[in-house]
Amino acid sequence: MKKILLTSAGFLNPKIGEEFLKLVSGKDTSILMVSYAQNKDEQFYIDKSKKELVDLGFNNIHIFNMNDNNNDTESLKNFDVIYVCGGNTFSILGKMKEIGLFDLIKKQVEKRSVFVGVSAGSIIAGENIDIAGWGSEGDENEINLKDLSGFSFTNTAVFPHFKNELKEEVEEFRKKANYPVIELTDNQALLIIGNEEKILE
């Protein structure tokens, strides 16, 4: 049964961290954090995400930085949790596909791994990442990525970092999309267990 936790801002809301604890077998759970920090701001949030996991009691955490030249994806099998950090959604997805990590993650989650997404990581969990570039605060497709297909862990598109002033933009996207769209504030998450979806807040 698939277990997916899609967040805007990780475990900023402690209740989301508590729900994550229910998805795993214990504090010795192995966690693979996939990152692609392209500037100091993005690295700050990745470090913050790791600290949140450590504060929850986890220490078996392996960070795989896709910026590294040695992109050996073969060693990344059999993690209990795959945690995909934020950043530019187009760049992250493009790099994953370029180094073969995309297919590996998809197979692992379909088989047994819990998937946690933060911001861009949550968008990539859907069928496509069209929503990533939408609106005044959308990501720029700086690499001119053509294949926008996501993991398809859910047919729901996540709009992260939602605030009321973005409501019209979300509604415009919802009108043109032929699939469900859920907006998440930084204090919310979408929990998917099997075919059941639930908003956490």
Residue 136: which CATH number? 3.40.50.880
Half-sphere exposure of 134 (CA within 13 A, CB side): 27
Please report, as a single letter, which amino acid is at residue 6.
Answer: L
| Helical (H) or strand (E) element with 114 | strand 114-118
For residue 70, the model assigns a pLDDT of 67
Half-sphere exposure of 177 (CA within 13 A, CB side): 22
For residue 68, the model assigns a pLDDT of 78
**Which domain range does residue 146 map to?**
3-200
Q: Quick one: CA dihedral 122, 59, 108, 34, positive or negative?
A: positive
For residue 69, the model assigns a pLDDT of 63
How many domains does the chain contain in total?
A: 1
Maximum separation of any 2 CA atoms in the chain, in Å: 44
Contact predicate 160/123, CB 8 Å: yes
Which stretches in the chain have pLDDT values below 70? 69-71
Q: Helix, strand, or coil here: 68?
A: coil
The pTM for the full model equals 0.96
For residue 201, the model assigns a pLDDT of 94
- The C-alpha atoms of residue 12 and residue 1 are separated, in whole angstroms, by 26
For residue 37, the model assigns a pLDDT of 85
